[in-house]
Amino acid sequence: MLFRLSLPAAALLSLTVTVALRADARPGGPHSDLVRLPKETARLYADTTLFPRPTKWLQVPWLLDLREGIRVAKAEGRPVLIWVSGDDPLERC
């Protein structure tokens, strides 16, 4: 079965895809006018703007098994970070 879009629906779909692809666009570096800002403002801008930086959290050996994570944390004397997301991640608490 061939699915055909009307012209307005195709235009809307194209616009939606274009916006979605650009939604996560991050600047490739500092803005060209950064040199014109006062020194403190330029530092704050650099500290709070999302420039491409290495993501150190990807280097952490994350564990997906809670019991194993607790066992390793106890053995190493470290805290446990439980990171959950989604709808009812722990069922009904």
- pTM of the shown model: 0.36
Joined tokens for residue 78: 């470290």
The reply to whether 45 falls in a domain is: no
What is the tally of structural domains in the chain?
Answer: 1
Structural domain for 60, as ranges = 56-85
The reply to whether 63 falls in a domain is: yes
* DSSP tag of 67: H
The reply to whether 7 falls in a domain is: no
> Is residue 60 pLDDT above 90, yes or no?
no
**Gap between the Cα atoms of 63 and 19, Å rounded:** 35
The reply to whether 90 falls in a domain is: no
User: What pLDDT is attached to residue 19?
Assistant: 60
The reply to whether 69 falls in a domain is: yes
**Gap between the Cα atoms of 70 and 61, Å rounded:** 14
Mean pLDDT of the chain: 75
Find the helix or strand (DSSP H, E) in which 20 lies: helix 7-22
Residue 4 CA from chain centroid, whole number: 35
The reply to whether 72 falls in a domain is: yes
